[in-house]
Amino acid sequence: MGIEAVIFDCDGVLVDSEVLYIEIECRALARIGLAYERSAYMARFTGLSDRDFVQTLDRDCWERLGAGLPKGFAEELDEETARAMQTDLQAIAGISELMRTLDIPTAVASSATVANLRKKLDLTGLTAFFEPHVYSTELVKSGKPAPDIFLMASERLGREPRHCLVVEDSVNGVLAGVSAGMRVWGFTGGGHADHALENRLLAAGAEMIIGSHKALGERLREG
């Protein structure tokens, strides 16, 4: 089954943002008494849309603390992460070089909001590689782990799902790609990757694990 298009997640695959998000979010949640073990937190929350992330946190807050998230918590968290993105965000090593050599259509399919997605691509100089195929789950009915965003991307690229490859770093993203009927390779080249990420992605249905964009390019050239 030939690969005719590559659909990339953004956070943790194109830009090294997940390591910033996880650190800031876990620290803020611990302050309100909602602590998580890091691996469990990553497996559960990475790849969710902002809306689903806050709703899930609020449910946990009710179950564990007997009250919802504190008033203004989500807004304050957004402000803190936005500041970190502006000052500390970097593209993941090798992505620009990879994009200059790929000769098949590509797209971005992300759980980030449209505004945040475009800002992160702009800050890291990646926007031109993907325009106009930059898609946010804000544009579809259901976010990851539902397949909607990947199916939208394949339709816009003019490729059948079975001929698309998804590159994902999260369990929710892998589940979405598999549900869309696409090949899925797990990516562990982001700064947030822990020793257990590979196993979590394989368990979710990833076909193989790719540790860097250099390795991704080499594997794609092999066919």
Q: Where in the chain is the domain with CATH 1.10.150?
A: 18-88
**Phi and psi, residue 135, nearest 5°:** -125, 135
The DSSP secondary structure of the chain, one letter per residue, reads: ----EEEE-SBTTTBTTHHHHHHHHHHHHHHTT----HHHHHHHHTT--HHHHHHHHHHHHHHHHSS-PPTTHHHHHHHHHHHHHHHH--BPTTHHHHHHH--S-EEEEESS-HHHHHHHHHHTT-HHHHTT-EEEGGGSSS-TTSSHHHHHHHHHHT--GGGEEEEESSHHHHHHHHHTT-EEEEE--STT--TTHHHHHHHHT-SEEE-SHHHHHHHHHH-
Q: How many residues can be counted in the chain?
A: 223
Residues paired with 208 in a beta bridge: 185
Q: Where in the chain is the domain with CATH 3.40.50.1000?
A: 5-16+89-222
Query: How does pLDDT run across 181-193, given as a tens digit for each residue?
Result: 999 999 999 988 8
Give the CA angle between residues 147, 15, 31 to the nearest 5°. 90
**Does 3.20.20.80 match the CATH number of domain 5-16+89-222?**
no
For residue 1, what pLDDT is reported? 60
The rounded distance, in Å, linking the Cα atoms of 20 and 73 is: 18
Closest CA to 147 of 175, 187, 105: 175
Low-confidence ranges of the chain (pLDDT < 50): none
For residue 194, what pLDDT is reported? 84
For residue 42, what pLDDT is reported? 84
Written as six digits, the tokens of 84 are 């970190």
For residue 217, what pLDDT is reported? 96
Query: Is residue 38 within 8 Å of 72, Cβ to Cβ?
Result: no
Fold type of domain 18-88:
DNA polymerase; domain 1 (1.10.150)
Query: How does pLDDT run across 40-86, given as a tens digit for each residue?
Result: 888 888 878 888 999 999 999 999 999 999 999 999 998 998 898 89
Sign of the CA dihedral running 206, 212, 215, 220: positive
